[in-house]
Amino acid sequence: MQAAIRIRRAEDDDALALSVLAERTFRAAFAESNSPANMQLHCAANYGHVLQLAEIRESSRETWVAEADKRLVAYVQLRLDAASSVVLSERPVEIQRFYVEASHHGTGLAHHLMAHVLARAEAACSAELWLGVWERNLRGLAFYRKWGFDVVGEHIFRLGDDPQRDLVMRRDVQSTLAAQESCATN
């Protein structure tokens, strides 16, 4: 039986466990398709304990974790007011990272996390949600398309010393009338 999942905002005390989860899920997703040297360069530059703590504390970023049996099994990081060259709406929200441990694939956790992301984008009065996804990440592309994201451009993502093509995907944030009125007064 699957343990109950709790989604919550990351706290300072999560930084070490988050750094381990972030590196583990990134490697699980992409190590097979990339050189060990480039994977090591990327992970060393992006997933350390100190960096995760700084990201948790950053005011323009929200880090959300999912835990089962008091163990982190997924996370998502959002960057608020994060425009790109092809996403220019007011207050866009970027899904910077969205990872679920392989042991929780197919459980519905990714869908719960995405619903949470949409609610957070709405709460941030964003009209648009966007992300970059590696063109060879077929699982990710299918998931995002299922959630209404469309390809609107591309950008380069450097993995170590390898420039890779990410597709930029976006979707509208469907907000309720109450949310629209709240945003209009802010």
Query: pLDDT, tens digit, for every residue of 54-74?
Result: 999 999 999 999 999 889 999
CATH number, domain 5-185, options 3.40.630.30, 3.40.190.290, 2.60.120.560, 3.30.1330.10: 3.40.630.30
Residue 122: closest CA among 66, 58, 78: 78
pTM of this structure: 0.91
User: Is the pLDDT reported for residue 177 higher than 80?
Assistant: no
Q: What is the pLDDT of residue 72?
A: 96
DSSP-assigned letters across all residues of 25-46:
HHHHHHGGGS-HHHHHHHHHHH
User: Distance (Å, rounded) from C-alpha 44 to C-alpha 157?
Assistant: 16
At residue 1, does pLDDT exceed 50?
no
Q: What mean pLDDT do residues 143-154 have?
A: 96
* Interacting residues of 35 by C-beta distance below 8 A, sequence separation 6+: 160, 162
Token pair 């005390």: residue = 13
Which amino acid is located at 158 in the chain? R
Q: What is the pLDDT confidence band of residue 2, given thresholds at 50, 70 and 90?
A: low
- Helix 49-57 and helix 15-30, axial crossing angle in degrees, nearest 10: 110
What are the residue boundaries of the structural domains of the chain, listed by start? 5-185
Tokens of 118: 């949409």
Tokens, residue 148: 């209404």
